[in-house]
Chain A
């Protein structure tokens, strides 16, 4: 297997894009990545997306988008792993280059969540869970995370305010990211006053519904011949799974897919958690950040909130997370998110993160989760 590098990135702003269709968003991101990566062709395209069929009555995105970007005829397909579709598309693109099969691969993530009513979007997002044993009971995706948060607070004697810093950090970082959905910081007061969605989760614990697309150009590292100063190497790529339904977990408060995926990634990159300079965590809900930090080895069991409470998760802290706003404030167009995370990790390692720049960033980790971490995709990047 050969080494793979990201040579170009592209992304759209995350927002309710009333005037842009799914194919237009994808095209914008891909053309941006091709320009950034100085390529005018590609051998293959992998498109991460979760709900194009359910919400926009459109499947077969590989063929559709390949043609839209002027690459009719190349290998192309949609890759789906619920909210982890973006990270999973990167995994597939990585394998396509690492295996020696292709030399220029486009990885794209695109999602349009606003095409349908709110109730339908909520129902559709719940498809990441078990339809026959969770969805049928009206258990929304927020409710699943809420049940975990409640149990977690019960076991470790915490209150909702202990989770506030995750959102506050995300919003503070998003304010410096022109692509982010939210552009202003939030206060602890705003967190405490936020409306209840599915208790104990409030609006400020949950990532928003929005549209967006991001794309990456992957090439073999060895082929770069030193004339690609802004190319960033993918040091690790791994996927692991867990039971789909929460009730089938050995221990609902432990994300074993995250643990497996992170362990494999650390082994491949020959690093340990202490070597990670920044972590684009899947902060769909603050409880997911907490549990991901623990299962990835950044915090002991029951201590996932500590780094946040001690204000060590900002760009100058011990473990910067969600450095460009994360799912919470940059936004979470579900199938695209994993690709946004990768683009942001690359931006950090290129030293181009502006006010959010993590000093001396050399090793970045991005983790994209499908469902309640039924699927965990971890990538590690180095410069």
Chain B
């Protein structure tokens, strides 16, 4: 059911909190303990803004177990404005209207359920920024 695990990840899932290297300034999402650039261990929390653009995407029609109910859903790689990339579902949009380069913003949505009596995991997804939102 992954209760403890999803709880451990709450700062990442709800606030897009990654890390920044105190030695070289490199920013990371997901958080890391050792800087990939300079190998320093002086990494501290850094909350990302949640704005970025779509690097690529795909519409999943054959889902892995646990996600069947959501089919078809769109997944994407988002390039955050601060630099790092993040993978997530792209939501609130028609699959035909998604484009590489589209501006998106982070929102919080349900990620998956764990069976009828299980917990529900929530976390970040991204939606295209439109005049309405």
Contacts and interface: CB of A to CB of B under 8 A. Distances in A.
Given A140-B62, A248-B85, A147 B111 contact: no
A119 B65 contact: yes
B123 A148 contact: no
A147 B84 contact: no
Nearest to A122: B64
Given A151-B55, A245-B87, A136 B61 contact: no
Interface string A129-140: 000111111111
A139 B75 contact: yes
A138 B62 contact: no
Nearest to A135: B64
B68 interface: yes
Contacts of B86: 133, 247
Contact of A122 (B36, B63, B70, B87): B63
Interface in A194-248: 196-201, 243, 245-248
Contacts of A125: 64
Interface of B is mostly: strand
A233 to B, nearest CB: 37
B118 to A, nearest CB: 14
Contacts of B55: 147, 151, 252
A138 to B, nearest CB: 3
Contact of B112 (A119, A138, A197, A198): A138
B90 to A, nearest CB: 10
Contacts of B89: 137-138
A252 B5 CA distance: 27
Nearest to B89: A137
Contacts of A243: 36
A132 B64 CA distance: 15
A366 interface: no
- The size class of the interface chain B forms with chain A is 35 or more
- The size class of the interface chain A forms with chain B is 35 or more
Given A139-B87, A247-B85, A150 B9 contact: no
A184 interface: no
Interface of A is mostly: helix
Nearest to A139: B75
Contacts of A150: 56-58, 100
A143 interface: yes
Nearest to B59: A199
Nearest to A125: B64
Contacts of A69: none
Contacts of A123: 64-66
Contacts of A138: 60, 63-64, 66-67, 70, 73, 75, 89, 111-112
B35 to A, nearest CB: 13
Interface string A109-122: 00000000111101
Given A137-B75, A147-B75, A247-B85, A198 B61 contact: yes
B120 interface: no
Contact of A147 (B5, B66, B70, B77): B77
Contacts of A246: 77, 85, 87
Interface string B22-34: 0000000010000
A117 B30 CA distance: 31
Contacts of B61: 196-198
Contacts of A133: 12, 30, 86-87
B56 A151 contact: yes
A258 interface: no
Interface string B102-119: 000000000110000000
Closest 5 CB pairs of A and B: A138-B67, A123-B64, A146-B58, A247-B85, A151-B56
Interface of A: 117-120, 122-123, 125-126, 132-140, 142-143, 146-148, 150-151, 154, 196-201, 243, 245-248, 252
